[in-house]
Structures are given as C-alpha cells and as structure tokens.
Structure 1
Amino acid sequence: MKIRTTIFFVVMVLAAFGLSFMLITEPGNVFRTLLTYAAIAGLIYFIYRMWIRRKPNRREQQAFKKAVKHSKKRYGNPVSASKMKANKAKPKAPIPFKKTSINRIDAPKLTVIEGKKGKKKKKISL
C-alpha cells in the first residue's frame, strides 16, 4: 500500500512541476489545453448520457417511479430519526382515533384469468 501512495505522490509532484513550468513559459497554451480537455470531457459525458446510459427498460423505470409516488401518497414519507427525537421531547395531546373509510383504501387490482381446466384434450391412441 505504501508503494502505491509513494508512486501517486511522485506523479502528482511531477504533474504540478510540469504545470507550473508550462504556466510560466507558455500560459496561452496551458489555458487552450485545459479548454480542450474540458471540451473532450464534456463530449464524452454527453455521449454517455445520451446513448450508453439510456436503457431499453425505460417504461419499467417510469412504472417504478409512478408506484413510488403512489406509495408515498398512500403511506406518507418516512420520518427521520431527528424528527422522532424532537417529537418525543414535546408531549402532545392524544390524537383521537380516526376511522378510515372503506372506499378510501384501494383494493388490490387482481383479475381472474379464465382457463380450460375442465376440458381435456382428445388423445389419439394407436
């Protein structure tokens, strides 16, 4: 592990020395080089963002986000530990029991798929 740290330190010192030398002798080229590197990095990031990162299962991702939004709307956001501690410090009046309406709670969306369980295939015997 010490060898890697030493090599990294030596490379960083040489890079700083070379950058300072170039800055003293040719400051225009340094800025042009840095702008070129920034443009290349931006182009690579753009290509990555547009083509490589785009996945074919985008519909699944949108469905997942919609389900998360519905879940948060239904159950609420989780309370952080700091808010729970603050709530414990302040005693509040007891909250009256709320009666939830049956219509408000969504039943799971299940469908019955009709099948041919009773019908048997005609078997051919030789």
Structure 2
Amino acid sequence: MTTAVSITPFINVLVWVKRKVNEPGYDVRCEPEAPKVVQQDTVINYQIVDTYGQDIVFSGLDVSPPDVNQISPPSISYSGKLLTVNDANTYDGWLSLYLEFTDRTEGVRFKHDPQVRNEPEI
C-alpha cells in the first residue's frame, strides 16, 4: 500500500512596478498584497506583470525575521521577471519579504516589503 503525498500548494503574486515621475523612488503593487500561507512547503511565485515600459527586474530577496528559517533562498528566472521561494510554514506569524529590484535603465537597486502571513494548520 502506498502513502498519499499532498500536492504542493502554490501562491502566485502579481507585481506591478513603476518609477515615480515627479519624485525619486518607485511604486510597487502586489496582488494579493499580503498572502496568507496555511500549508507547509508552499511555493510562492512573485511575477512582474507590468513595469510600464521600464526595464525593471528582480535581483534578490531578504527575509525578516531572519532567524525563523521559513523562506528558502530565491530562484530568479533568466528574464528576471519571476522570483520563486518555498515557505516552510512552521512558524505562526508575519514575515517581511524584502523583494529586491534593479532598474537596469537607471542602474538603481531598490526594495519593497510585501508581507506574508504564516498560519500553519494544526
């Protein structure tokens, strides 16, 4: 007899990034804004869907708090438009995922903090 293995859950987050026109900085919008993770080993995909004609890509990720060991190192697609991580979801609480972007036209790096809510199933 075989043991059934749960199918890996996925959460896809759409990301819009735009350089501000009349002031320094960037506007970043994520949908969903703060995903709620309820299953262990959930895959979270962040996908840049629009940069309004600007050459902006993912370039890294920082996680806070760093000592809870919930988020895997990121995998960034060759195009730079997709960033994927795995969430262990064994910690109940909020995580800050500082998405790192690079505006390749301007040579500028910047971060945005979409939070993730971990709520492990009991």
Structure number with higher strand proportion = 2
Same fold (TM over 0.5): no
Normalization by structure 2: what TM-score?
Answer: 0.17
The structure whose Rg is larger is 1
Structure number with higher helix proportion = 1
Normalization by structure 1: what TM-score?
Answer: 0.17
